[in-house]
Amino acid sequence: MGISTKNIATFLLGAAAGAAIYKYASMTDEEKEQMVQSLKSKAGKLREEAETGTEMAVDYFSELGREGVASLKEHWSDIEKYIKDLVGKKNSGAAGTSF
């Protein structure tokens, strides 16, 4: 039986976890407190970036929707009629199916 990449990854993760536990155990209480404060600060920054990214994504997709509809209407002036015809054919073709 050969060594798979899963086995290697598991070994490396275990070694890293062991090294982290050893490092933490050998720290003074003051160093531990500084590390905890640093982690809290980094987590707070990450959270702020994620919230900002979410807000930007919402704005982007709403703008994309507005511009997309406007662009379709500009380049394909009878799009509304086409979609109504398409949906009407689909609904009439599948009797008893409603959306």
For the segment 11-25, the average pLDDT, to the nearest whole number, is: 95
What whole-number distance in Å separates Cα of residue 32 and Cα of residue 12? 24
pTM of the model: 0.47
Task: Convert 19-53 to b/e letters by CB count within 10 Å (16 or more is b).
Answer: eeeeeeeeeeeeeeeeeeeeeeeeeeeeeeeeeee
* The pLDDT of residue 89: 75
Query: Could you write out the three-class secondary structure of 55-83?
Result: HHHHHHHHHHHHHHHHHHHHHCCCHHHHH
List pLDDT tens digits, range 40-89.
Answer: 999 999 999 999 999 999 888 888 888 877 777 777 777 777 778 888 87
